[in-house]
Amino acid sequence: MPVDYHMHTPLCKHATGEPEEYVLRAIERGIGEIGFSDHNPMPDWYDPMSRMARVEFSRYEAMVRAVQRRFAGRIAIRFGIEADFHPGTEDYVREFLASAPFDYAIGSVHYLGDWPFDHPDAVEGFLRRDIDSIYEEYYGLVIRMADTGLYDIAGHLDLPKKFGHRPRSDMMPAVRRALIAIRDAGMCFEVNTSGLRKPVREIYPSADIVRLAAKLGVPVTLGSDAHEARHVGEDFDRALTLLREAGYREVMRFEERMPTPTPL
């Protein structure tokens, strides 16, 4: 198994288990390289219950540095972050990402306006709006995210499907525009196995999106989005099959925000 670049820590208040446990699980699963990517600090008004506070950030870095030292020579551990994209917070995120020596930044859209559409407690929002307009708005934000040039990896690319809400019309034109924006920004996208553990029971993004991304030449990386140690590297056999069938032969690894391909 090449890499698992998407995992969290208790600092985000909705993940459990110490980083050591995540690392041990990765070693057990034969993963050569992992990265921590906990939810980034944001301005005070933005979703403080699902992320570390800015004053806790030094603890996050210390946690990651501690496992890097402790497991040196056994597994490579990268220092990443999952940073939200939300219009109006770009300057904050730019300053934050420049403030520490990250190996990579995953960019994620978790809100449409003030609606946290992937939060289980807000799922009734799907009944209030036209499903196609939800997807259109979402992919529009992904394009704006790519255009900021702030991020390295587009996270869980078709996240609005999480609870099983499917678009009524063909979203592939919007997906294609998003993939092209991601590629042209020098980013990659992630194949994220956590969707298999959600009501939709499907990898993010779906197979047709992975195939289109391969055709368009968008580089890819891999993540479990583990919020518990036992989910590290989970279902990566299925992720690798999906990638190979789409035509991928390599995934990206990152060091100091520079991507390097590594064979699948």
Give the binding site for Fe ion (CB under 5 A): 82, 108, 225
- Residue 94 phi, psi dihedral angles, 5° rounding: -60, -50
Of 152 and 225, which has the nearer Cβ to Zn ion? 225
Q: Are strands 250-255 and 258-263 parallel, antiparallel or unpaired?
A: antiparallel
Least distance to Zn ion, CB of residue 193, Å = 11
Least distance to Fe ion, CB of residue 235, Å = 15
33 binds, among Zn ion, Fe ion, none (CB under 5 to 8 A by kind): none
Of 33 and 225, which has the nearer Cβ to Zn ion? 225
Tell me the residue number closest to Zn ion, measured at CB.
225
Helix-strand-coil split of the chain, %, nearest 5: 40, 20, 40
Count of beta carbons in the 10 Å neighbourhood of residue 152? 25
Of 35 and 217, which has the nearer Cβ to Fe ion? 35
Number of residues that bind Zn ion (CB under 5 A): 1
Of 82 and 158, which has the nearer Cβ to Fe ion? 82
Instruction: Give the chain's radius of gyration (CA, Å).
Output: 17
CB 159 within 8 A of CB 124: no
Least distance to Fe ion, CB of residue 28, Å = 21
Closest CA to 38 of 89, 95, 105: 105
* Token code pair at residue 123: 């799922």
| 153, 225, 233, 236: residue in contact with Zn ion (rule CB under 5 A) | 225
Of 103 and 225, which has the nearer Cβ to Zn ion? 225
Of 118 and 137, which has the nearer Cβ to Fe ion? 118
Least distance to Zn ion, CB of residue 225, Å = 5
Tell me the residue number closest to Fe ion, measured at CB.
108
Least distance to Fe ion, CB of residue 88, Å = 19
Of 73 and 152, which has the nearer Cβ to Fe ion? 152
CA–CA gap between residue 194 and residue 108 (Å, rounded): 14
* Token code pair at residue 111: 């809100």
CA–CA gap between residue 230 and residue 17 (Å, rounded): 9
Count of beta carbons in the 10 Å neighbourhood of residue 223? 29
Determine if 190 is a binding residue for Zn ion (CB under 5 A). no
CA–CA gap between residue 117 and residue 151 (Å, rounded): 21
CB neighbours of 199 closer than 8 A, spacing ≥ 6?
A: 162, 163, 164
By CB under 5 A, what part of segment 59-88 binds Zn ion?
A: none
Q: By CB under 5 A, which span of 87-95, 113-121, 139-147, 217-225 interacts with Zn ion?
A: 217-225
Least distance to Zn ion, CB of residue 141, Å = 15
Least distance to Zn ion, CB of residue 130, Å = 25
CA–CA gap between residue 37 and residue 127 (Å, rounded): 31
Residues that bind Zn ion (CB under 5 A): 225
